Amino acid sequence: MDDVFLQSLLLADSTLRLATPLVLAALAGLFAERSGIADIGLEGKMLGAAFAAAATAAVTGSAWLGLGTGIVVGILLALLHGFACITHKGDQIVSGIAINIAVAGLAPTLADAWFGRAGNTPLLQGDARFAPISLPLAETLRDVPILGPIYAVLISGHNVLVYVMLAAVPLAWWVLYRTRFGLRLRAVGENPAAVDTAGISVEALRYRALLGTGILCGIAGAYLSTAHNASFIRDMTAGKGYLALAALIFAKWRPVPTLFACLLFAFTDALQVRLQGVVLPGIGEVPTQAIQALPYVLTVLLLAGFVGRAVAPAAIGKPYDKERPHRV
């Protein structure tokens, strides 16, 4: 019994760790998409930030400086996306693909040239990496039944970015639903012409939304390379940006459900590692690939309206033209 309890705690613990980059990236996508900018470039922004953070941390020995550069790179890539699809009214999907592909090439190229390690950065040690934080009294309380292990294993012992992620969800909710900026942001994603008529700049509002996207992608990337892992590895995002996008859609573009969608997807990931080669009674051996593909299959089913219905922000994907505000 105790063993089952501890096992499920460990499973929950690794779910939380795996969910962190997904939640941060999905919230990043939330800001962009609620403002009417489709963003399939989360993957590239995260990867770019992951490289920048690991490279800076490797050179300076400071994980915090790494986080800073990661955020700067995230913002720059988000602004590039804005430059293409807000300023020049380019196609948002094409711009996202361009960023994903360019970064997938550029990061290993620079890693190769600067560190000579076949597309990776050197291993980070000591302060160059975000270490687990032990919350107060975690060890003392460990022996308290039920709650003690929950506190010690699940709540305590994560690095600071996991807690940042947990704080980011209510913060995103508050910004989106309780501030003037959030109200305008949601309005510009549904009906930019109305926002324009109210005398508010659609372009400036969308650029500010993308700023939020860049910051969150930056943190997500830094988490991957300087907290969850100890270096930048080629293609280390491995589709997490797309998975985050799927979670965002799954959550119907709302912050709190986004957290749960990411936890669900991360749970399938944590589970498939543990289920490798395990024979379940009555089912037999579950192919790990089936569990891996589950989040993608669920998203397709949801989009097709077979499980619930996901309705995107109305103005998503359409560049806003001041002179022809009602063009569809």
Partner 1 sequence: MTPLPRWVDVGLLPILNLTAAMLVTGLIVLILGENPVRALQFLIYGAFGYGEAIGYTLYYATSFIFTGLAFAVAYHAALFNIGAEGQAYLGGLGVGLVCLALDAYLPFVLILPVALLAAAAFGAFWGAVPGWLQAHRGAHIVITTIMFNFIAAAVMTYLLVNVLIEPGQANPETRDFAANATLPQLHEIARWLGLPTYRSPLNLAFVLALGACFLVWLFLWKTRLGYALRVTGQSQDAALYAGIDPWRVVVLAMALSGALAGMMALNEIMGAQGRLLLGFTGGFGFVGIAVALMGRNHPLGIVFAAVLFGALYQGGSELAFEMPAISRDMVVVIQGLVILFAGALENMFRPTLARVFARRAEAV
Closest CA to 249 of 298, 191, 194, 179: 298
- Indicate the residue type of 59: V
Q: Which is nearer to partner 1, 18 or 245 (CB)?
A: 245
Alpha-carbon gap, residue 45 to 48, rounded angstroms: 5
Sites for partner 1 among residues 271-300 (CB under 8 A): 287, 289-290, 292-293, 296-297, 299-300
Cβ-proximal residues to 180 (8 Å cutoff; 6+ apart), any chain: none
Q: Which is nearer to partner 1, 11 or 106 (CB)?
A: 106
Q: Which helix (H) or strand (E) holds 244?
A: helix 240-250
Query: Measured between alpha carbons, how far is residue 311 from residues 115, 175, 183, 248, 254 in Å?
Result: 46, 21, 18, 11, 11
- Classify strands 284-285 and 279-280 as parallel, antiparallel or unpaired: antiparallel
| Residues in contact with partner 1, shown as a per-residue x/- string from 219 to 258 under the rule CB under 8 A | --------------------x--x--xx--x---------
Closest CA to 36 of 202, 189, 193: 189
Sites for partner 1 among residues 60-99 (CB under 8 A): 83-85, 88-91, 93-95, 97-99
From 26, 40, 128, 244, residue interacting with partner 1 (rule: CB under 8 A): 40
Closest CA to 28 of 189, 165, 135, 231: 165
Sites for partner 1 among residues 133-162 (CB under 8 A): none
Roughly how many angstroms between the first and final C-alpha of the chain, as a whole number?
60
Q: Is 307 in the site for partner 1 (CB under 8 A)?
A: no
From 48, 108, 192, 218, residue interacting with partner 1 (rule: CB under 8 A): 108
From 123, 305, 307, 321, residue interacting with partner 1 (rule: CB under 8 A): 305
Six-digit token string for 74: 């995230």
Sites for partner 1 among residues 172-211 (CB under 8 A): none
Counting every residue, how long is the chain? 328
- Coil vs helix vs strand at 284: strand
Q: Which is nearer to partner 1, 11 or 98 (CB)?
A: 98
Least separation, in Å, of the C-beta of 190 and partner 1? 17
Q: Is 103 in the site for partner 1 (CB under 8 A)?
A: yes
Residues in contact with partner 1 by the rule CB under 8 A: 38, 40, 83-85, 88-91, 93-95, 97-106, 108-110, 112-113, 119, 239, 242, 245-246, 249, 287, 289-290, 292-293, 296-297, 299-300, 303-306, 312
